[in-house]
Amino acid sequence: MEFLGIGYQELLLVLVLLLVVVGPERLPAVAYQLGRAVRTLQTYARAVRDEFSDEIGYVEEQYKTIKGEVDTTRATLRQEEAKLNAELREATEPIRLATEELTKDPALTAGTPASASGGNADADVKPEPENAPPPLVF
């Protein structure tokens, strides 16, 4: 089993070197200080983890609140869209029916200017004078 890439053999070697460098008299004091340092690091790590958990919880709560508001707004907008579409259909229905009547009845379309002039749509166009300026081109 390895911890941080250090196996049992490497850990034993580090402990032996620590015993040689520090000496047997100071080894208990160094071990105590090392234990306190590890405990302090664990406390800091736990505090950071708890703070991140609190912040993530707050962000998730805000997300749920905003998502609920967006869903409510979306539903309201869809209802308004449906109402406006219904009103638009009601307003355009008479125009659509009148257009259908005009296209179905050939007697009503016979009175239009294009058909009254014999179908010659160019007869109503005025010729341009000979000395007219050329058209503006942009």
Pairwise pLDDT comparison (48 vs 131), residue with the higher score: 48
Whether residue 19 contacts residue 27, with contact meaning beta carbons closer than 8 Å, is answered with yes
**What is the model's pTM?**
0.44
What are the tens digits of pLDDT across the range 63-121?
Answer: 999 999 999 999 999 999 999 999 999 999 999 898 888 888 766 555 555 544 555 55
DSSP tag of 45: H
138 lies in some domain: no
Domain boundaries, position 69: 8-101
| Tokens encoding 138 | 């942009």
Question: According to the model, what pLDDT value does residue 78 have?
Answer: 97
Question: According to the model, what pLDDT value does residue 57 have?
Answer: 96
13 lies in some domain: yes
54 lies in some domain: yes
Pairwise pLDDT comparison (66 vs 30), residue with the higher score: 66
Q: How confident is the model at residue 18 (pLDDT cuts 50, 70, 90)?
A: confident
Question: According to the model, what pLDDT value does residue 110 have?
Answer: 58
Closest by alpha carbon to 46, among 124, 38, 22, 69? Answer: 38
User: How far apart, in whole angstroms, are the C-alpha atoms of residue 138 and residue 136?
Assistant: 7
pLDDT of residue 21 exceeding 60: yes
Which amino acid is present at 88?
L
89 lies in some domain: yes
Whether residue 30 contacts residue 22, with contact meaning beta carbons closer than 8 Å, is answered with yes
CA 32 distance to own-chain centroid: 54
Q: Hey, is 3 helix, strand or coil?
A: strand
Q: How confident is the model at residue 23 (pLDDT cuts 50, 70, 90)?
A: confident
24 lies in some domain: yes
Sole residue written with tokens 């340092």: 37
How many domains, in total, are found in the chain? 1
109 lies in some domain: no
User: How far apart, in whole angstroms, are the C-alpha atoms of residue 64 and residue 57?
Assistant: 11
Question: According to the model, what pLDDT value does residue 120 have?
Answer: 52
